[in-house]
């Protein structure tokens, strides 16, 4: 179904007065549109994406809910498609190789497709988006492009978000874990509810498995090499199995590991940021493991999230 149009005034500005508003953290408010919550600049950029981005059939769109492994998968996809990209990965932050549509290509102060290595080659562009499938489906389905969706254990996603948002250069307010849990459980997060985001892409991956690849952070972490191979097959550039290709594969897995990536100079920078999003580039690397929520969430919080997860995913064929 087509998302309802974003209310735009004669001036071209979005009319927020019609949209439900909810406090996120500090002075940061989210507004609800089409059943999902967005920060205002995000919604403005989304409006531009929906109006102007015309995917090419050869595009690969990496879709994700924030904090589920986007940065890692940007590096992996770029490496798979460009084969042996160690030099690029070593010297460029993944967000500077593969741009996110609504943060780096559309919206205020954004770059052009030519300014990112991942989108400069028009015959094999790689782009990312956090927009829910329910919102961007019309755009994606207008061509035959491929989508790769990554998701992650909701409790680890929550804990990763709780660490991440206070690193903002704009909204520095502290954020209590209790409030972060409350917001997550109520679906109030950028591009949330998390569950509807996951289910949108999950259902599409069942309908069109040749075009929508669905993977979890945990799968990718537990056997990166196998899944990188599967991804390469899906992307139409399989590793053919000769010795040289096997070395390239090993090199990609190794160069993109958390241990390596979090130590590259380009990824340790506190200066640069990603498009209009004012987060230091280093904030996209923290702990890089699975199950870290156990170190933060109380048993009650865990029970609460687990109960919601069971309810929301019930009957979908997907479960955490
Ligand atoms: P943690 O906060 O749990 O460490 P996103 O890229 O979607 O914003 O997700 C960020 C999460 O992915 C962070 O999780 C970050 O540490 C982790 N991450 C970044 N690079 C990674 C890599 N190469 N391997 C595994 N995890 C990575």
Distance 302 CA to ligand 1 centre (A): 21
Distance 160 CA to ligand 1 centre (A): 8
- For residue 287, the ligand 1 atom closest to its alpha carbon is 4
Cβ(66) – ligand 1 distance below 6 Å = yes
For residue range 124-133, what is the model confidence (pLDDT) as tens digits? 999 999 999 9
Helix, strand, coil distribution of the chain in percent, nearest 5: 50, 10, 40
- For residue 163, the ligand 1 atom closest to its alpha carbon is 2
- For residue 285, the ligand 1 atom closest to its alpha carbon is 16
Distance 172 CA to ligand 1 centre (A): 21
Percentage of the chain exceeding pLDDT 90? 80
The C-alpha atoms of residue 139 and residue 52 are separated, in whole angstroms, by 9
pLDDT, position 3: 57
Cβ(288) – ligand 1 distance below 6 Å = yes
pLDDT, position 269: 85
Look-up of token digits 């500090």: 26
| Angle (CA) 96 101 106, round 5° | 100
- DSSP classification of residue 256: T
On the question of pLDDT at 272 being above 80, the answer is no
Q: Which neighbouring-strand residues pair with 32?
A: 37
- Say whether domain 16-313 belongs to CATH 3.40.50.300: yes
Distance 222 CA to ligand 1 centre (A): 14
For residue 166, give the 3-state DSSP assignment: helix
Distance 282 CA to ligand 1 centre (A): 11
Cβ(285) – ligand 1 distance below 6 Å = yes
Percentage of the chain exceeding pLDDT 70? 98
Cβ(283) – ligand 1 distance below 6 Å = no
Look-up of token digits 């929550």: 158
- Asked if this assembly's ipTM is beyond 0.85, the reply is yes
> What are the catalytic residues?
130
The C-alpha atoms of residue 230 and residue 224 are separated, in whole angstroms, by 10
Query: Poorest-confidence range of 20-29, 184-193, 208-217?
Result: 20-29
What residue segments make up the domains of the chain, in order of their start?
A: 16-313
pLDDT, position 133: 98
Cβ(71) – ligand 1 distance below 6 Å = yes
Cβ(160) – ligand 1 distance below 6 Å = yes
């Amino acid at each position: 179904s087509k998302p309802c149009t974003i209310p735009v005034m004669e001036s071209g500005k979005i009319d927020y007065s019609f949209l439900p508003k909810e406090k996120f953290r500090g002075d940061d408010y989210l507004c609800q549109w089409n059943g999902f919550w967005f920060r205002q600049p995000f919604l403005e950029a989304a409006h531009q994406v929906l109006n102007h981005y015309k995917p090419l059939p050869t595009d690969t769109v990496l879709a994700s809910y924030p904090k589920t492994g986007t940065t890692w998968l940007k590096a992996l996809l770029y490496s798979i498609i460009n084969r042996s990209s160690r030099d690029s990965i070593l010297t460029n932050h993944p967000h500077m190789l593969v741009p996110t549509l609504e943060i780096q290509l559309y919206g205020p102060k954004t770059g052009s497709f030519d300014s990112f290595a991942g989108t400069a080659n028009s015959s094999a562009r790689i782009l990312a988006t956090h927009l829910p499938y329910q919102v961007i489906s019309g755009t994606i389905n207008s061509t035959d492009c491929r989508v790769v969706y990554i998701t992650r254990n909701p409790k680890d996603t929550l804990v990763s978000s709780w660490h991440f948002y206070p690193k903002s250069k704009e909204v520095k307010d502290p954020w209590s874990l209790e409030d972060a849990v409350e917001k997550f459980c109520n679906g109030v997060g950028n591009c949330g509810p998390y569950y509807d985001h996951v289910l949108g892409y999950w259902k599409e991956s069942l309908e069109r498995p040749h075009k929508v690849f669905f993977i979890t952070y945990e799968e990718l972490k537990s056997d990166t090499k196998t899944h990188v191979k599967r991804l390469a097959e899906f992307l139409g550039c399989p590793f053919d199995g000769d010795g040289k290709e096997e070395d390239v594969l090993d090199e990609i897995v190794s160069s993109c590991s958390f241990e390596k990536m979090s130590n590259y100079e380009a990824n340790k920078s506190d200066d640069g940021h990603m498009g209009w999003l004012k987060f230091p580039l280093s904030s996209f690397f923290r702990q890089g493991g699975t199950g870290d929520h156990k170190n933060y969430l109380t048993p009650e919080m865990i029970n609460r999230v687990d109960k919601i997860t069971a309810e929301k995913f019930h009957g979908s064929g997907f479960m955490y």
